[in-house]
Structure 1
Protein backbone atom coordinates (compact mmCIF):
# COMPACT_ATOMS: atom_id res chain seq x y z
CA UNK A 1 0.00 0.00 0.00
CA UNK A 2 1.26 3.45 -0.91
CA UNK A 3 1.10 5.63 2.20
CA UNK A 4 1.76 8.71 0.04
CA UNK A 5 4.59 9.90 2.27
CA UNK A 6 7.20 10.20 -0.48
CA UNK A 7 8.63 13.73 -0.64
CA UNK A 8 6.48 14.86 2.28
CA UNK A 9 8.38 17.22 4.60
CA UNK A 10 8.43 15.57 8.02
CA UNK A 11 9.65 17.25 11.22
CA UNK A 12 10.68 14.79 13.94
CA UNK A 13 11.71 15.77 17.46
CA UNK A 14 13.84 13.45 19.60
CA UNK A 15 15.22 11.41 16.67
CA UNK A 16 18.57 10.39 18.15
CA UNK A 17 17.77 7.02 19.73
CA UNK A 18 15.15 4.44 20.59
CA UNK A 19 11.71 4.94 19.13
CA UNK A 20 12.74 8.36 17.77
CA UNK A 21 15.46 6.76 15.65
CA UNK A 22 13.07 3.97 14.56
CA UNK A 23 10.46 6.53 13.53
CA UNK A 24 13.11 8.47 11.61
CA UNK A 25 14.19 5.33 9.73
CA UNK A 26 10.57 4.43 8.96
CA UNK A 27 9.81 7.80 7.36
CA UNK A 28 13.13 7.73 5.50
CA UNK A 29 12.17 4.35 4.04
CA UNK A 30 8.96 5.93 2.74
CA UNK A 31 10.97 8.59 0.89
CA UNK A 32 10.04 11.51 3.16
CA UNK A 33 12.25 14.60 3.44
CA UNK A 34 13.25 14.91 7.08
CA UNK A 35 14.04 17.72 9.50
CA UNK A 36 15.49 16.18 12.66
CA UNK A 37 15.20 18.46 15.69
CA UNK A 38 16.93 18.23 19.04
CA UNK A 39 19.23 19.93 21.51
CA UNK A 40 22.16 17.55 21.01
CA UNK A 41 22.84 17.68 17.29
CA UNK A 42 25.95 15.50 17.68
CA UNK A 43 23.74 12.66 18.94
CA UNK A 44 21.39 13.06 15.96
CA UNK A 45 24.07 13.14 13.26
CA UNK A 46 24.76 9.36 13.21
CA UNK A 47 21.08 8.64 12.51
CA UNK A 48 21.01 11.37 9.86
CA UNK A 49 24.15 9.97 8.25
CA UNK A 50 22.68 6.47 8.22
CA UNK A 51 19.49 7.47 6.43
CA UNK A 52 21.34 9.77 4.02
CA UNK A 53 23.53 6.80 3.09
CA UNK A 54 20.32 4.98 2.23
CA UNK A 55 19.25 7.78 -0.11
CA UNK A 56 17.04 9.84 2.19
CA UNK A 57 17.15 13.62 2.42
CA UNK A 58 17.61 14.98 5.94
CA UNK A 59 18.73 18.07 7.79
CA UNK A 60 19.65 18.29 11.47
CA UNK A 61 18.37 21.37 13.29
CA UNK A 62 19.41 22.45 16.78
CA UNK A 63 16.29 23.12 18.83
CA UNK A 64 15.32 23.22 22.50
CA UNK A 65 11.62 22.47 22.18
CA UNK A 66 10.84 24.01 25.59
CA UNK A 67 11.63 27.43 24.07
CA UNK A 68 9.05 28.80 21.70
CA UNK A 69 11.46 31.04 19.82
CA UNK A 70 13.78 28.10 19.20
CA UNK A 71 10.90 26.12 17.67
CA UNK A 72 9.93 29.05 15.46
CA UNK A 73 13.52 29.32 14.22
CA UNK A 74 13.76 25.56 13.62
CA UNK A 75 10.60 25.52 11.52
CA UNK A 76 11.79 28.56 9.56
CA UNK A 77 15.04 26.69 8.83
CA UNK A 78 13.06 23.62 7.77
CA UNK A 79 10.91 25.64 5.38
CA UNK A 80 13.96 27.32 3.89
CA UNK A 81 15.51 23.91 3.20
CA UNK A 82 12.40 22.25 1.81
CA UNK A 83 10.59 24.73 -0.38
CA UNK A 84 8.45 26.40 2.25
CA UNK A 85 6.46 23.32 3.27
CA UNK A 86 5.85 21.44 6.52
CA UNK A 87 3.60 18.44 5.94
CA UNK A 88 4.04 16.27 9.03
CA UNK A 89 5.12 16.87 12.62
CA UNK A 90 5.99 13.92 14.85
CA UNK A 91 6.63 14.90 18.47
CA UNK A 92 8.76 12.15 20.01
CA UNK A 93 11.01 14.16 22.34
CA UNK A 94 10.09 13.77 25.98
CA UNK A 95 11.24 12.60 29.37
CA UNK A 96 10.25 10.14 32.08
CA UNK A 97 10.32 12.34 35.17
CA UNK A 98 10.90 10.96 38.69
CA UNK A 99 10.41 7.20 39.00
CA UNK A 100 9.27 5.46 42.17
CA UNK A 101 8.26 8.65 43.97
CA UNK A 102 4.78 9.28 45.29
CA UNK A 103 3.06 12.50 44.36
CA UNK A 104 3.80 14.00 47.77
CA UNK A 105 7.49 13.09 47.47
CA UNK A 106 7.79 14.70 44.03
CA UNK A 107 9.35 18.16 44.17
CA UNK A 108 8.00 21.21 42.38
CA UNK A 109 11.13 21.34 40.26
CA UNK A 110 10.73 17.70 39.17
CA UNK A 111 7.08 18.25 38.32
CA UNK A 112 7.76 21.47 36.41
CA UNK A 113 10.62 19.95 34.43
CA UNK A 114 8.67 17.00 33.03
CA UNK A 115 5.50 18.99 32.35
CA UNK A 116 7.58 21.63 30.60
CA UNK A 117 9.20 19.05 28.34
CA UNK A 118 6.29 16.70 27.66
CA UNK A 119 3.54 19.32 27.34
CA UNK A 120 5.07 22.70 26.57
CA UNK A 121 7.54 21.16 24.12
CA UNK A 122 4.76 19.67 22.01
CA UNK A 123 2.70 22.86 22.28
CA UNK A 124 5.65 24.91 21.05
CA UNK A 125 6.36 22.76 18.01
CA UNK A 126 2.68 22.50 17.07
CA UNK A 127 2.27 26.24 17.42
CA UNK A 128 5.31 26.77 15.18
CA UNK A 129 4.14 24.36 12.45
CA UNK A 130 0.42 25.05 12.30
CA UNK A 131 0.43 28.43 10.49
CA UNK A 132 2.21 26.78 7.56
CA UNK A 133 -0.09 23.76 7.59
CA UNK A 134 -3.14 26.02 7.76
CA UNK A 135 -1.92 28.02 4.78
CA UNK A 136 -1.38 24.73 2.89
CA UNK A 137 -4.79 23.43 3.97
CA UNK A 138 -2.98 20.20 4.67
CA UNK A 139 -1.01 18.63 7.52
CA UNK A 140 -0.59 15.75 9.94
CA UNK A 141 0.54 15.97 13.56
CA UNK A 142 1.39 12.90 15.63
CA UNK A 143 2.22 13.33 19.31
CA UNK A 144 3.88 10.45 21.14
CA UNK A 145 2.24 10.11 24.53
CA UNK A 146 2.16 7.06 26.79
CA UNK A 147 -0.26 4.59 28.29
CA UNK A 148 0.46 5.92 31.79
CA UNK A 149 -1.37 9.01 30.54
CA UNK A 150 -4.43 6.83 29.97
CA UNK A 151 -4.54 4.71 33.13
CA UNK A 152 -2.24 6.50 35.53
CA UNK A 153 0.59 4.88 37.46
CA UNK A 154 1.64 4.88 41.10
CA UNK A 155 5.16 6.22 41.46
CA UNK A 156 4.95 8.03 38.13
CA UNK A 157 2.56 10.88 38.97
CA UNK A 158 4.46 13.68 37.23
CA UNK A 159 4.97 11.67 34.04
CA UNK A 160 1.34 10.53 34.01
CA UNK A 161 0.15 14.11 34.53
CA UNK A 162 2.27 15.34 31.62
CA UNK A 163 0.95 12.67 29.25
CA UNK A 164 -2.66 13.19 30.34
CA UNK A 165 -2.12 16.88 29.61
CA UNK A 166 -0.71 16.07 26.18
CA UNK A 167 -3.89 14.17 25.37
CA UNK A 168 -5.93 17.30 26.11
CA UNK A 169 -3.63 19.45 23.98
CA UNK A 170 -3.93 16.94 21.14
CA UNK A 171 -7.72 16.83 21.24
CA UNK A 172 -8.13 20.61 21.41
CA UNK A 173 -5.74 21.18 18.52
CA UNK A 174 -7.56 18.47 16.53
CA UNK A 175 -10.83 20.38 16.88
CA UNK A 176 -9.24 23.72 16.04
CA UNK A 177 -7.14 22.53 13.09
CA UNK A 178 -9.64 20.09 11.61
CA UNK A 179 -11.45 22.70 9.47
CA UNK A 180 -8.10 23.30 7.70
CA UNK A 181 -7.70 19.62 6.71
CA UNK A 182 -5.17 18.93 9.47
CA UNK A 183 -5.24 15.71 11.48
CA UNK A 184 -3.89 15.75 15.04
CA UNK A 185 -3.51 12.45 16.87
CA UNK A 186 -1.63 10.79 19.71
CA UNK A 187 0.24 7.48 19.75
CA UNK A 188 0.52 6.01 23.26
CA UNK A 189 3.28 3.40 23.62
CA UNK A 190 3.26 1.02 26.53
CA UNK A 191 6.50 -0.49 27.75
CA UNK A 192 8.90 -0.69 24.81
CA UNK A 193 11.58 -3.36 24.55
CA UNK A 194 14.93 -1.61 24.58
CA UNK A 195 17.89 -0.60 26.75
CA UNK A 196 15.83 0.70 29.68
CA UNK A 197 13.50 -2.31 29.67
CA UNK A 198 16.34 -4.85 29.41
CA UNK A 199 18.83 -2.95 31.56
CA UNK A 200 16.61 -1.68 34.38
CA UNK A 201 12.98 -2.88 34.41
CA UNK A 202 13.73 -6.56 33.81
CA UNK A 203 16.69 -6.92 36.23
CA UNK A 204 14.79 -5.08 38.98
CA UNK A 205 11.74 -7.34 38.55
CA UNK A 206 13.92 -10.46 38.46
CA UNK A 207 15.75 -9.47 41.65
CA UNK A 208 12.56 -8.51 43.46
CA UNK A 209 10.75 -11.76 42.62
CA UNK A 210 13.74 -14.11 42.68
CA UNK A 211 13.29 -15.23 39.08
CA UNK A 212 15.45 -15.20 35.96
CA UNK A 213 15.50 -12.21 33.67
CA UNK A 214 13.85 -14.21 30.88
CA UNK A 215 11.07 -15.17 33.31
CA UNK A 216 10.73 -11.48 34.19
CA UNK A 217 10.31 -10.61 30.49
CA UNK A 218 7.59 -13.24 30.15
CA UNK A 219 5.87 -12.12 33.36
CA UNK A 220 5.81 -8.55 32.08
CA UNK A 221 4.46 -9.66 28.70
CA UNK A 222 1.72 -11.68 30.42
CA UNK A 223 0.00 -8.41 31.39
CA UNK A 224 -0.79 -7.79 27.71
CA UNK A 225 -3.52 -9.43 25.65
CA UNK A 226 -1.01 -10.26 22.91
CA UNK A 227 1.54 -11.62 25.42
CA UNK A 228 4.43 -9.64 23.96
CA UNK A 229 6.21 -6.37 24.66
CA UNK A 230 6.08 -3.61 22.03
CA UNK A 231 9.11 -2.70 19.93
CA UNK A 232 10.32 0.65 18.64
CA UNK A 233 9.21 -0.45 15.17
CA UNK A 234 5.64 -1.06 16.42
CA UNK A 235 5.50 2.58 17.52
CA UNK A 236 7.06 3.75 14.26
CA UNK A 237 4.44 1.92 12.19
CA UNK A 238 1.63 3.55 14.17
CA UNK A 239 3.18 6.96 13.49
CA UNK A 240 3.41 6.19 9.76
CA UNK A 241 -0.25 5.22 9.73
CA UNK A 242 -1.44 8.39 11.44
CA UNK A 243 0.81 10.56 9.23
CA UNK A 244 -0.45 8.97 6.03
CA UNK A 245 -3.50 9.45 3.83
CA UNK A 246 -4.90 6.06 4.78
CA UNK A 247 -5.84 7.62 8.14
CA UNK A 248 -7.38 10.74 6.53
CA UNK A 249 -10.62 10.43 8.51
CA UNK A 250 -9.03 9.91 11.93
CA UNK A 251 -8.32 12.84 14.24
CA UNK A 252 -8.17 13.48 17.96
CA UNK A 253 -7.57 9.84 18.89
CA UNK A 254 -5.29 8.19 21.43
CA UNK A 255 -3.86 5.05 19.81
CA UNK A 256 -2.31 2.69 22.39
CA UNK A 257 0.58 0.60 21.06
CA UNK A 258 0.84 -1.76 24.00
CA UNK A 259 -0.26 -5.24 22.97
CA UNK A 260 -3.63 -4.70 24.62
CA UNK A 261 -3.16 -3.22 28.09
CA UNK A 262 -4.49 0.29 28.48
CA UNK A 263 -7.85 -0.28 26.80
CA UNK A 264 -8.61 -3.80 28.05
Structure 2
Protein backbone atom coordinates (compact mmCIF):
# COMPACT_ATOMS: atom_id res chain seq x y z
CA UNK A 1 0.00 0.00 0.00
CA UNK A 2 1.39 3.38 -1.04
CA UNK A 3 0.72 6.12 1.48
CA UNK A 4 1.38 9.67 0.29
CA UNK A 5 3.64 11.52 2.67
CA UNK A 6 3.82 15.26 3.12
CA UNK A 7 7.32 16.74 2.82
CA UNK A 8 8.85 17.40 6.21
CA UNK A 9 9.35 21.08 6.89
CA UNK A 10 10.30 23.00 9.99
CA UNK A 11 7.56 24.99 11.67
CA UNK A 12 7.66 28.70 10.71
CA UNK A 13 8.06 31.28 13.45
CA UNK A 14 4.36 32.18 13.12
CA UNK A 15 3.12 28.66 12.63
CA UNK A 16 -0.38 29.53 13.87
CA UNK A 17 -1.02 32.53 11.63
CA UNK A 18 -4.66 32.53 10.57
CA UNK A 19 -5.77 30.38 13.50
CA UNK A 20 -8.18 31.49 16.22
CA UNK A 21 -7.56 30.38 19.80
CA UNK A 22 -9.77 30.60 22.87
CA UNK A 23 -8.07 30.22 26.26
CA UNK A 24 -10.21 30.01 29.38
CA UNK A 25 -8.86 31.45 32.59
CA UNK A 26 -6.41 33.57 30.63
CA UNK A 27 -6.43 36.97 32.31
CA UNK A 28 -3.49 35.98 34.53
CA UNK A 29 -1.04 33.23 35.38
CA UNK A 30 -0.70 30.10 33.25
CA UNK A 31 -3.61 30.98 30.97
CA UNK A 32 -2.22 34.41 30.14
CA UNK A 33 1.20 32.89 29.44
CA UNK A 34 -0.39 30.42 27.05
CA UNK A 35 -2.44 33.13 25.34
CA UNK A 36 0.70 35.22 24.81
CA UNK A 37 2.58 32.24 23.37
CA UNK A 38 -0.25 31.47 20.93
CA UNK A 39 -0.35 35.13 19.89
CA UNK A 40 3.42 35.15 19.38
CA UNK A 41 2.93 32.20 17.03
CA UNK A 42 0.43 34.24 15.02
CA UNK A 43 -2.96 33.13 16.38
CA UNK A 44 -5.75 35.56 17.12
CA UNK A 45 -6.72 35.04 20.75
CA UNK A 46 -9.87 35.24 22.83
CA UNK A 47 -9.21 35.81 26.52
CA UNK A 48 -11.57 34.73 29.28
CA UNK A 49 -11.39 35.08 33.03
CA UNK A 50 -11.79 37.29 36.05
CA UNK A 51 -10.20 40.64 36.69
CA UNK A 52 -10.55 44.40 36.61
CA UNK A 53 -12.02 45.52 33.29
CA UNK A 54 -9.44 48.26 32.72
CA UNK A 55 -6.55 45.86 33.38
CA UNK A 56 -8.00 43.24 31.05
CA UNK A 57 -8.39 45.93 28.40
CA UNK A 58 -4.73 46.89 28.75
CA UNK A 59 -3.71 43.24 28.48
CA UNK A 60 -5.70 42.85 25.27
CA UNK A 61 -4.16 45.98 23.78
CA UNK A 62 -0.66 44.92 24.77
CA UNK A 63 -0.99 41.47 23.18
CA UNK A 64 -2.45 42.94 19.99
CA UNK A 65 0.27 45.57 19.69
CA UNK A 66 3.15 43.28 20.62
CA UNK A 67 2.24 40.38 18.34
CA UNK A 68 0.13 41.98 15.62
CA UNK A 69 -2.91 39.77 16.16
CA UNK A 70 -6.57 40.34 16.95
CA UNK A 71 -7.53 39.97 20.59
CA UNK A 72 -10.92 39.90 22.25
CA UNK A 73 -12.32 39.10 25.66
CA UNK A 74 -15.28 37.11 26.95
CA UNK A 75 -16.47 37.55 30.54
CA UNK A 76 -18.27 34.18 30.40
CA UNK A 77 -19.07 32.60 33.76
CA UNK A 78 -17.77 29.05 33.41
CA UNK A 79 -20.18 27.75 36.02
CA UNK A 80 -23.09 28.57 33.67
CA UNK A 81 -23.58 26.47 30.52
CA UNK A 82 -25.55 29.22 28.80
CA UNK A 83 -22.74 31.71 29.36
CA UNK A 84 -20.23 29.23 27.94
CA UNK A 85 -22.45 28.70 24.89
CA UNK A 86 -22.64 32.45 24.32
CA UNK A 87 -18.82 32.71 24.50
CA UNK A 88 -18.30 29.97 21.91
CA UNK A 89 -21.01 31.36 19.63
CA UNK A 90 -19.58 34.89 19.83
CA UNK A 91 -16.08 33.64 19.03
CA UNK A 92 -17.26 31.79 15.95
CA UNK A 93 -19.50 34.68 14.85
CA UNK A 94 -16.63 37.17 15.09
CA UNK A 95 -13.98 35.04 13.41
CA UNK A 96 -15.86 32.43 11.40
CA UNK A 97 -13.81 29.71 13.04
CA UNK A 98 -12.38 28.32 16.26
CA UNK A 99 -9.21 26.31 15.72
CA UNK A 100 -7.58 26.02 19.14
CA UNK A 101 -9.38 25.57 22.45
CA UNK A 102 -7.35 25.65 25.65
CA UNK A 103 -9.32 24.64 28.74
CA UNK A 104 -7.21 26.20 31.47
CA UNK A 105 -9.61 27.73 34.00
CA UNK A 106 -9.36 26.22 37.45
CA UNK A 107 -9.76 26.85 41.16
CA UNK A 108 -8.60 25.00 44.27
CA UNK A 109 -9.68 24.36 47.86
CA UNK A 110 -7.91 22.25 50.46
CA UNK A 111 -9.77 20.43 53.27
CA UNK A 112 -10.22 16.92 54.69
CA UNK A 113 -12.97 14.91 53.00
CA UNK A 114 -15.38 14.99 55.92
CA UNK A 115 -14.92 18.74 56.24
CA UNK A 116 -14.90 19.58 52.52
CA UNK A 117 -17.60 22.21 51.88
CA UNK A 118 -20.18 20.86 49.45
CA UNK A 119 -20.45 24.20 47.68
CA UNK A 120 -16.67 24.20 47.12
CA UNK A 121 -16.84 20.69 45.64
CA UNK A 122 -19.62 21.76 43.27
CA UNK A 123 -17.81 24.92 42.15
CA UNK A 124 -14.46 23.20 41.61
CA UNK A 125 -16.06 20.43 39.54
CA UNK A 126 -18.04 23.00 37.55
CA UNK A 127 -15.05 25.19 36.66
CA UNK A 128 -12.26 22.61 36.46
CA UNK A 129 -14.14 19.83 34.65
CA UNK A 130 -17.71 20.51 33.54
CA UNK A 131 -16.80 23.76 31.76
CA UNK A 132 -14.33 21.81 29.58
CA UNK A 133 -17.10 19.41 28.60
CA UNK A 134 -19.27 22.33 27.50
CA UNK A 135 -16.55 24.21 25.61
CA UNK A 136 -15.46 21.03 23.85
CA UNK A 137 -18.91 19.88 22.75
CA UNK A 138 -19.71 23.37 21.47
CA UNK A 139 -16.37 23.93 19.68
CA UNK A 140 -16.28 20.61 17.85
CA UNK A 141 -18.85 21.47 15.12
CA UNK A 142 -16.78 24.49 13.99
CA UNK A 143 -13.56 22.47 14.08
CA UNK A 144 -15.15 19.72 12.01
CA UNK A 145 -16.50 22.23 9.52
CA UNK A 146 -13.05 23.76 9.01
CA UNK A 147 -11.24 20.42 9.00
CA UNK A 148 -8.85 21.33 11.83
CA UNK A 149 -8.92 21.45 15.59
CA UNK A 150 -6.63 21.41 18.60
CA UNK A 151 -8.08 20.96 22.08
CA UNK A 152 -5.58 21.27 24.91
CA UNK A 153 -6.76 20.65 28.45
CA UNK A 154 -4.58 21.97 31.25
CA UNK A 155 -4.78 19.16 33.76
CA UNK A 156 -2.22 18.71 36.55
CA UNK A 157 0.11 16.18 38.07
CA UNK A 158 -2.97 15.66 40.23
CA UNK A 159 -4.70 14.27 37.16
CA UNK A 160 -2.25 11.38 37.38
CA UNK A 161 -1.61 10.98 41.12
CA UNK A 162 -3.46 11.89 44.29
CA UNK A 163 -2.69 14.04 47.31
CA UNK A 164 -4.55 14.28 50.62
CA UNK A 165 -7.02 17.11 51.28
CA UNK A 166 -7.56 17.92 47.58
CA UNK A 167 -10.55 15.68 46.85
CA UNK A 168 -12.38 17.96 44.43
CA UNK A 169 -9.29 19.16 42.57
CA UNK A 170 -7.85 15.65 42.16
CA UNK A 171 -11.22 14.25 41.08
CA UNK A 172 -11.70 17.03 38.54
CA UNK A 173 -8.21 16.71 37.08
CA UNK A 174 -8.52 12.93 36.79
CA UNK A 175 -11.80 13.62 35.01
CA UNK A 176 -10.09 16.02 32.60
CA UNK A 177 -7.62 13.30 31.64
CA UNK A 178 -10.51 10.92 30.97
CA UNK A 179 -12.39 13.53 28.95
CA UNK A 180 -9.21 14.13 26.94
CA UNK A 181 -8.98 10.45 25.99
CA UNK A 182 -12.63 10.19 24.98
CA UNK A 183 -12.44 13.37 22.90
CA UNK A 184 -9.29 12.13 21.16
CA UNK A 185 -10.91 8.81 20.28
CA UNK A 186 -14.08 10.41 18.93
CA UNK A 187 -12.15 12.84 16.70
CA UNK A 188 -9.22 10.64 15.68
CA UNK A 189 -10.07 10.61 11.96
CA UNK A 190 -10.99 14.29 11.66
CA UNK A 191 -7.73 16.28 11.84
CA UNK A 192 -8.67 17.19 15.39
CA UNK A 193 -6.48 16.31 18.35
CA UNK A 194 -7.08 16.51 22.07
CA UNK A 195 -4.33 16.35 24.67
CA UNK A 196 -3.85 17.15 28.33
CA UNK A 197 -0.88 19.01 29.76
CA UNK A 198 -0.22 17.99 33.37
CA UNK A 199 1.97 20.51 35.19
CA UNK A 200 3.41 20.20 38.64
CA UNK A 201 4.08 23.48 40.42
CA UNK A 202 4.33 26.42 38.02
CA UNK A 203 5.78 29.75 39.06
CA UNK A 204 3.02 32.39 39.04
CA UNK A 205 2.15 35.40 41.23
CA UNK A 206 -0.20 33.14 43.22
CA UNK A 207 2.63 30.73 43.96
CA UNK A 208 4.89 33.62 44.93
CA UNK A 209 2.29 34.64 47.52
CA UNK A 210 2.20 31.07 48.82
CA UNK A 211 5.99 31.09 49.31
CA UNK A 212 5.87 34.15 51.53
CA UNK A 213 2.84 32.88 53.43
CA UNK A 214 4.37 29.46 54.09
CA UNK A 215 7.69 31.00 55.15
CA UNK A 216 5.96 33.15 57.77
CA UNK A 217 3.65 30.36 58.94
CA UNK A 218 6.46 27.82 59.43
CA UNK A 219 9.24 30.21 60.40
CA UNK A 220 11.54 28.95 57.66
CA UNK A 221 13.36 30.52 54.73
CA UNK A 222 11.95 30.99 51.23
CA UNK A 223 14.43 28.43 49.88
CA UNK A 224 13.25 25.86 52.42
CA UNK A 225 9.61 26.50 51.50
CA UNK A 226 10.41 26.01 47.83
CA UNK A 227 12.49 22.83 48.24
CA UNK A 228 10.85 21.12 51.20
CA UNK A 229 7.22 22.22 51.02
CA UNK A 230 6.07 23.27 47.54
CA UNK A 231 8.55 21.20 45.51
CA UNK A 232 8.78 18.25 47.89
CA UNK A 233 7.37 15.93 45.20
CA UNK A 234 9.29 17.40 42.24
CA UNK A 235 12.71 15.75 41.86
CA UNK A 236 14.16 18.56 39.76
CA UNK A 237 13.44 21.08 42.56
CA UNK A 238 12.46 23.88 40.23
CA UNK A 239 9.20 25.40 39.15
CA UNK A 240 7.99 25.05 35.61
CA UNK A 241 7.39 28.41 33.96
CA UNK A 242 4.38 29.76 32.12
CA UNK A 243 6.66 30.22 29.11
CA UNK A 244 7.42 26.48 29.07
CA UNK A 245 3.73 25.65 29.15
CA UNK A 246 3.05 28.21 26.45
CA UNK A 247 5.71 26.74 24.17
CA UNK A 248 4.33 23.23 24.66
CA UNK A 249 0.80 24.40 23.92
CA UNK A 250 1.96 26.07 20.73
CA UNK A 251 3.71 22.88 19.62
CA UNK A 252 0.61 20.77 20.30
CA UNK A 253 -1.38 23.26 18.21
CA UNK A 254 0.81 22.92 15.11
CA UNK A 255 0.81 20.48 12.23
CA UNK A 256 3.96 18.91 13.70
CA UNK A 257 1.81 17.44 16.50
CA UNK A 258 -0.88 16.01 14.22
CA UNK A 259 -0.26 12.44 15.42
CA UNK A 260 -0.15 13.30 19.12
CA UNK A 261 -3.60 12.83 20.62
CA UNK A 262 -5.18 11.39 23.73
CA UNK A 263 -2.16 11.80 25.99
CA UNK A 264 -1.66 13.37 29.41
CA UNK A 265 1.81 14.87 29.18
CA UNK A 266 3.48 15.52 32.55
CA UNK A 267 5.41 18.76 32.93
CA UNK A 268 6.25 18.09 36.56
CA UNK A 269 10.01 17.75 36.99
CA UNK A 270 9.71 14.00 37.49
CA UNK A 271 6.91 14.07 40.10
CA UNK A 272 4.87 11.31 38.46
CA UNK A 273 7.99 9.26 37.64
CA UNK A 274 7.99 7.97 41.24
TM-score by length of 1: 0.91
| Unmatched 5+ stretches in structure 2 | 1-9
CA 1:103–1:70 in structure 2 vs 1: closer, same or farther (change >3 Å)? same
Judge conservation of contact 1:134–1:180 (CA < 8 Å) in 2.
yes
| Counterpart position of 2:127 | 117
| Counterpart position of 2:38 | 27
Judge conservation of contact 1:31–1:56 (CA < 8 Å) in 2.
yes
| Unmatched 5+ stretches in structure 1 | none
| Counterpart position of 2:76 | 63
What RMSD in Å do the two structures reach over aligned CA positions? 1.9
| Counterpart position of 1:72 | 85
CA 1:133–1:226 in structure 2 vs 1: closer, same or farther (change >3 Å)? same
- Which structure 1 residue ranges, 4+ long, deviate > 3 Å from structure 2? 38-41, 218-223
Judge conservation of contact 1:190–1:230 (CA < 8 Å) in 2.
yes
Among candidates 193, 206, 213, match of residue 222 of structure 2: 213
Among candidates 199, 202, 210, match of residue 209 of structure 2: 199
Judge conservation of contact 2:211–2:226 (CA < 8 Å) in 1.
no
Matches within 5 A, 1:137-148: 137-148=147-158
| Counterpart position of 1:7 | 18
- Of stretches 46-55 and 1-10 in structure 1, the one that deviates more from structure 2 is 1-10
TM-score by length of 2: 0.88
| Counterpart position of 2:271 | 261
| Counterpart position of 2:101 | 89
Matches within 5 A, 1:122-133: 122-133=132-143
1:19 Cα deviation after fit: 0.7
1:185 Cα deviation after fit: 0.6
Q: 1:39-67: per-residue Cα shift (whole Å, max 9, x none)?
A: 55725323211111212211112312232
Among candidates 144, 149, 152, match of residue 134 of structure 1: 144
1:114 Cα deviation after fit: 0.5
- Partners of 2:262 and 2:56 lie apart in 1 by 30
Aligned residue pairs: how many? 260
